Structure 1
């Protein structure tokens, strides 16, 4: 009797391994051979799920965006203070640090390739909507309030800037410093420290 393989599960495993390899070694080092070896399968299995390296890489980029959004939504749904919620995005834990390494590996592509630019825009719009909803809920204001849109834009810029600086200067941008700077932004928006 043949072994039944869940196609989507196997495809997700390949993407997960590729995600980890990009986080560890970058885009250029990623090969189907390396993915197959890390996944314990043949290169033909990898190529069965992805036509080429570019298709797989694009999926890795999409997964990085999705994972970050899911972690943030989970933290928010659990009722954690906003400052703690943003630990899901900021490079304070291993999962979020890996996400930042993957994002950094891909951002030049977003500048040069239309599909990556569109994915970057889509992810940014989703983040902006989530930030706006989180702020509106915490401040007791309507989401459509123009001030909530402006506050969400300030917050997304602050989180991105803090995260980027922390990636390049982790000794200077400790968790405490990231929290301190983000807490100041939250206070400027009108939230008590920690949100």
Structure 2
């Protein structure tokens, strides 16, 4: 990564974007704070004024990445419309915005080996799980269906499609249809 002009006007935001881009290109193994700082024209030691630790920067990268998916969790419409919209928009995003999901996949894989990143991912997942579970809890389900478990299924399905982004819209569309059929009539 070469030094670049500030993109947002905020050094902190530019550092997050530089880290995001570096992870997208080189993976978590290639995330070097020196390169992140250089990309926004800072000395490596100055980066620590914005982010005391690498995990602090990674936490902001997760917030940036997941924030781009906030529109999928809009609360307008019926609970069924909310859940189906979430699955549809997420499926399209996985297919069309591969760099976003490359970064999220990298972070999820690293979380399996790094407790600090696991804590960041778990917090992020809870911010996702909460609204999805709330939407599901407002729906009527056939006996034996639990909204908390269905929320886990949705999260697992989305994370799974990250490994094969081209299938995401079809896989999540199929999940949507199964969920609609599983509702109590």
TM-score in terms of structure 1 length? 0.67
Q: Is the 8 Å Cα contact of residues 15 and 40 (structure 2) preserved in structure 1?
A: yes
1:184 equivalent in alignment to 2:177: yes
Give the structure, 1 or 2, with the largest relative contact order (CA under 8 Å, sep 6 or more).
2
Q: Deviations over 1:69-106 (max 9, x none)?
A: x2333xx2354653232344341331xx3332122212
Q: 1:161 aligns with which of 157, 162, 177?
A: 157
Q: How many residues align?
A: 171
Q: 1:140 to 1:174 in 2, by over 3 A?
A: closer
Q: RMSD across aligned C-alpha pairs, in angstroms?
A: 3.4
Report the counterpart of residue 77 of structure 1 in structure 2.
75
Q: What displacement does 1:41 show?
A: 3.9
Partner Cα separation in structure 2 for residue 37 and residue 12 of structure 1: 14
Q: 1:174 to 1:57 in 2, by over 3 A?
A: closer
Q: 1:151 aligns with which of 147, 168, 174?
A: 147
Q: 1:116 to 1:36 in 2, by over 3 A?
A: closer
Q: 1:191 to 1:128 in 2, by over 3 A?
A: farther
* Unaligned ranges ≥5, structure 1: 1-7
Partner Cα separation in structure 1 for residue 88 and residue 120 of structure 2: 23
Q: Higher mean Cα deviation, 46-55 or 100-109?
A: 46-55
Q: What displacement does 1:140 show?
A: 6.8
Aligned-partner SS, 1:28: helix
Q: What displacement does 1:22 show?
A: 1.0
* Unaligned ranges ≥5, structure 2: 1-8
Q: What displacement does 1:132 show?
A: 2.0
Partner Cα separation in structure 2 for residue 86 and residue 168 of structure 1: 16
Partner Cα separation in structure 1 for residue 26 and residue 127 of structure 2: 28
Partner Cα separation in structure 2 for residue 59 and residue 180 of structure 1: 30
Partner Cα separation in structure 2 for residue 129 and residue 98 of structure 1: 25
Q: Deviations over 1:104-141 (max 9, x none)?
A: 2122332233333333333333322211222244x379
Q: Is the 8 Å Cα contact of residues 140 and 183 (structure 2) preserved in structure 1?
A: no
TM-score in terms of structure 2 length? 0.69
Q: Is the 8 Å Cα contact of residues 82 and 135 (structure 2) preserved in structure 1?
A: no
Q: 1:169 to 1:30 in 2, by over 3 A?
A: same
Aligned-partner SS, 1:77: coil
